[in-house]
Structures are given as C-alpha cells and as structure tokens.
Structure 1
C-alpha cells in the first residue's frame, strides 16, 4: 500500500515533521512493505515557515534579527520564493517564546513582526504572506504597524508604550506604513472578529495569560484603539471583518494595510501539493495534538479529509487526544491518550506514544 502521512503540529510536543516521522516509523514496524510518504502541514501558526521550506525547493531562507513579545532580541526566519515572502508571526510574537510567568498580553507587542516584514519589503518582496497563530500578543497589531511607520500618540502627543493595555491611551495616528505597495495575505483559519464575546480578547486572551479583569481591560483598550484608527484613517468596519481577531488582532492590522485573509490550511495544502499526493495514495493519515469537533470546521484536518474524500481515499486521524468527533470523510479517529491510558502518559512520551499508536493502527487495519 501507498500511505500518505500529512499531519499538523502536535502543539507543545512535536512539529508537523516530527509527528509525520513518528507515524511513518510506527507504520513501517507493522507493515515494512508499505510505502509511507510524509507531507508535514501547517495552518499558519507555528511551523508554517518550516513546512513551506520543505515543500518549496526554490525558496530561500532569510534570517532577521528582530525582537520577541517582550522586546528581547530574537532571530526570525522567513522564506522568499520569487517575489513572495512567507513569514510566520509566531517567530517573533509566539507564546512559546515566553515562560509561563512572562505571559501578559497587557505588555506584549508585535513590533518584531514588523521588523521582519520591513526586511522582506526592502529586499524586494512584492507579496507578503504572513501565517497568523500561536501569538502571545493582544495589541491589535499596533506594534507591527509602528515598526512599519505608523506613530500612535496619546493626548499629550507622546508615543504610546507597547502592549495591549496601552492602546486605551491612543488619541492620534500619524505616519504612513513603509510597505511600498506590497500585497498582504493573512494566512489564518481563525474567523473571529476583533471585538465582542467571540473576539481576540475574550476568546484568546486567557490562553495568553490574561486574568478575567485583564480581559475586560484589553477589550476596552482594543475597542478604543480600533475606533480611533478607523476614524482617523477613514477605514470603517475593519474590526467587524471575519479574521480581524486572529493572533491578538493582527488580522485587523493587515486589513488596515489593505491585506486580505486566506485559509492558512488551504494555502499550505495548495503550496505543498496535497491533492496530487492524495491522488497517488491508497490511504491518507492526518493528525494533530488535540482533535475535536472544531478540528472539522475548516482547520487542517478537515482540509486533508476533504481532499481524501474527493479522491475516494480513506482518511484516518491519529491525535494526541481526541473527543468523540465523527465525520463522514473519516475512516477512523485514534488517540495516544486512549492507547496509553492517560493524557499525562501521552504528554510524557509523545514521539514514542504516536509511533506505538501508528504501529497498532496498522496492525488492526491490515493485519
């Protein structure tokens, strides 16, 4: 049999490439005569650039000295293929760059992402695709916009500090973004608006370290910032667009720059040639760290499953943990947690557990 293994990252434990290798190793233990091809995938979050680097042989990697969410130096990679640059917001804004005690979206900034974008623009990029996801920030992209040329001032005429809380003081917007008219694409599968119960602060703020009182503060600050910017720049309605709340409001900032939103999963799948690879396979396997009903709503697993269904190929999900999510395009859902008996055991040995799960599934399905 020809097996195509096309997983997402297992957040917090394995990259997409590591997960694909683990599944392939387990499958080969049980069925050494099968051909197991790996095709790591991403949805725009952490791993976006790594996955595309594997898939785009003509792309070149560039490293930029930028800053992390707290302003400390960090090296960030981006890809360049032709006149298109592929950038990962998590490389400079990622939650993984901070310790638990450092997570505070009142203070964290997206400034470093603006530094990377500016480098790509000044070196000739005409189209900039930015993967959004896994951010530690809730500043509606104000830091990024500052790095690109905007200046946000308070009522006294002073530039506001970085961080989501400081947005409450914005009274004036000056300057123009130095982006040379490039085309911006925000690659994300988050369709949240900027504000409200389904927006950036309420849904994602707590994941980034915001206490309940901080969520209310951030919501108010971001709402004030968005209203001020939309008014001063005569760009009404941006905060309400689907995806404006992605990555702590970075989606809003890209809409302000004239950008558009595309599905990160679909964009990646197209770039790596998923459909052609599925057509050549007898069985497709995808996976992610936590699989539930949300995974089947436009996220990466749904893209893989839909491609498999379109080519009449069975599709399995191998996950770290899995709820009782079913879908007509799936032939089965299996989890490391179920195999090892607990989430703690699955987290303690993620690679070994996923390898063992793949071996067991191969034996059960094909003897």
Structure 2
C-alpha cells in the first residue's frame, strides 16, 4: 500500500515535517512494508518557508527584525530565482509572545523582512500569512516600509487610537516594481462580525470588550488610510484583508495580490501528482475543527485527494467536527490523540502520541490489518 502523508504543523508542538515523521514511524510499526511518502504542508502560517525550501530548493538568508513586542528575532528568507518567500509568523507569531499582548503587538518586523528581501534584489515577494499574535491591521508593516501617521503605527492597535491621517506614499514607493503575493490561510475581511478581530481576536488574547474596541480602532485606521467612502474602503472588505490580524489589508494597500496559501504550497510540492500516485492520503493538524474549512491545510489536502479519487483521513491533536462536517470537507475519517490520552498528555509528548495514534489507524487502513 502507498500512503501520502501531508500534514500541517501541529500548533506549537510539532512542525509539519516532524508530524509527517511521527505518522510514518507509527504507521510502519504495524505495516512495515507499506510505502509512505512525506509531503509536509503549510497554508502560509508556521512552517511556510521550511516546506517551500524542501520543495523548491533555493538559498536561505537570515535577517534580524523587531518581534511583536520589540524583542529582536531572526527571520529566514528563502530566495528562489528572483522570488523571496517570507513567513510572517517568524516575525510576529503567537509562539513569540508569552503572555499574549494583542493591544501592543506589532507587525513591524514583517515589514523589515520585506524590506530586506527587496534590498537583496527580489522582484517578487511571497508573504505567508498565518499564526500571528498581532491584530494591528498591518500598521507596523506599513511603518517599517516608510508609512507615516499622526499616531504611532508600530506599537499595536491601542496606539492607533485617535488616528486621523495615514500616509502610505513612502511605503508604496519602497515596494514599487516589486510584485507582492499574499499567501493567506484565510479569506476573511478585516472588519465586522466575520472579520479578523471578531474571528481570531480571542485566540490572540482579546476579551469581548477589547474585540469591540480594537475593531472600532481599525475601522478608523481604514478610514484614515483609505478614505471614508465605501469605494475607498473596499480594500478592507476584500478576501484576505483580515489575514494575520490585518496584515493582508496592509499588503493589499501596497498593491499586493491574495492567493490561497495551501494552493501555492500544493503546487510547489506537486500534491495533485503525488496524491494520484498513492492509495491513501493522510493529513493532519493540531485542532481539526470547522475553521479548517477556511483555507487551511486539511481542507486543501482533502480537496486534492478527492480530485485524485483517493480517500483522505485526518490525524489530529483534537477533532471537533462530526462525521457530516468531515464528509463535507472530503474527509473519510478523523482520529484524535486527545481522545486516547487526554488534551494535556497530547501536548506534553506530541511526537510519541501521534506515532502511537498512527499505529492504531494503520490497523484500520492498511491491508495487513485484514490478514
């Protein structure tokens, strides 16, 4: 039996390559003769650059940038044939902030990484968005590229309070002649009931009261940067504007184009071709829930498997969807580490427990289990 193993990172516990290795190791305990192929995936969030470097090759460079709360952090930029790939999570990711501080976290470091890529000669820059600790509408990125305002743009959303004027002329000049590609893991807008703050603010530490506050601040930020008419503000409603707490909005202001992060990575690793060459596709992520349908790895991999007429199953830290939702996403079955060992244990020994789960799942799906 041939099995394609194409997981995402398991939020803060395992990288995508580590998750793939754990699944393969566990599966082989039951079915050592099965042929398993690792195809680590990303939707633009954590692991984006590593996955693309494994698929595309290229040269890596490291730049030091300002982290979400001001502490310097390293960011790896991948250069391939005039294109630079930047992973925003490396500059402003959730893993860089403890405790969470969404009112003050900034995307300034992402702008610094983009500037470094331009200085290195890139004429096309692909910025992976996802896993951010920030909710500043991309104001920090704009500041790093030269934008100015009547308030501080580089100190998080609270610092934007009272903003009335934002000038992005210098930032647009800085990126002139460079194609900006926004590889997003979500397609939500910036503002409102289904916008960035309401949808992902809680996981970044915003309370219900702060969600309303920050959404109002960002509404005024949009008006200051774009204008007050619906036509002028349209960019804030565009798909992907709300990605990474509004980084998508800032990059759209600079002329960026939104693409699906999972589709971009799938093309790079040849996922359609690989799925067709295997009998079963296995994917996974830390928490498999309804949000997995919104541009995430699991949904993207399952869609490719369906196109190739191959069954797809999910191995996850936690599974929070029912069988009907799974079928709607193209998933045959989903299996949870937490269901076997509990949530706490699944977080403390993630590699071992995921491998154990893969062993159990292989008994169901590998022909050897029928012997």
Shorter-chain-normalised TM-score: which range? over 0.9
TM-score by length of 1: 0.93
Give 5+ residue unaligned stretches, structure 1.
Answer: none
Could you tell me which residue of structure 1 aligns to residue 162 of structure 2? Answer: 169
Cα distance per residue 1:130-181 (max 9 Å; x no partner): 1111111111111111111111124xxxx55621012123232334111132
Written as runs of structure 1 = structure 2, the 5 A alignment for 1:332-343 is 332-340=333-341, 342-343=342-343
Q: Over aligned residues, Cα RMSD in angstroms?
A: 1.8
Could you tell me which residue of structure 2 aligns to residue 85 of structure 1? Answer: 84
Cα drift, residue 291 of structure 1: 1.1
Distance between the aligned counterparts of 2:222 and 2:130, measured in 1? 20
- Which stretch of the first structure deviates more once superposed, 47-56 or 229-238? 229-238
1:296 paired residue among 293, 297, 312: 293
1:236 corresponds to 2:237? no
Is the 8 Å Cα contact of residues 241 and 252 (structure 2) preserved in structure 1? yes
Cα drift, residue 288 of structure 1: 0.9
Matched residue SS, 2:346: helix
Label 1:160 to 1:359 Cα distance change in 2 as closer, same or farther (>3 A).
Answer: closer
Could you tell me which residue of structure 1 aligns to residue 15 of structure 2? Answer: 15
Is the 8 Å Cα contact of residues 6 and 281 (structure 2) preserved in structure 1? yes
Could you tell me which residue of structure 2 aligns to residue 227 of structure 1? Answer: 223
Give 5+ residue unaligned stretches, structure 2.
Answer: none
Could you tell me which residue of structure 2 aligns to residue 182 of structure 1? Answer: 178
Written as runs of structure 1 = structure 2, the 5 A alignment for 1:1-367 is 1-57=1-57, 59-100=58-99, 103-154=100-151, 159=152, 162-174=155-167, 175-177=169-171, 178-231=174-227, 235-323=232-320, 324=322, 325-327=325-327, 329-340=330-341, 342-365=342-365, 366=367, 367=369
Matched residue SS, 1:327: helix
Cα drift, residue 297 of structure 1: 4.4
Label 1:216 to 1:296 Cα distance change in 2 as closer, same or farther (>3 A).
Answer: closer
Cα distance per residue 1:284-329 (max 9 Å; x no partner): 1111111123323442112211221222222211111112242163
Matched residue SS, 1:202: helix
Distance between the aligned counterparts of 2:247 and 2:256, measured in 1? 11
Label 1:315 to 1:161 Cα distance change in 2 as closer, same or farther (>3 A).
Answer: closer
Label 1:5 to 1:184 Cα distance change in 2 as closer, same or farther (>3 A).
Answer: same
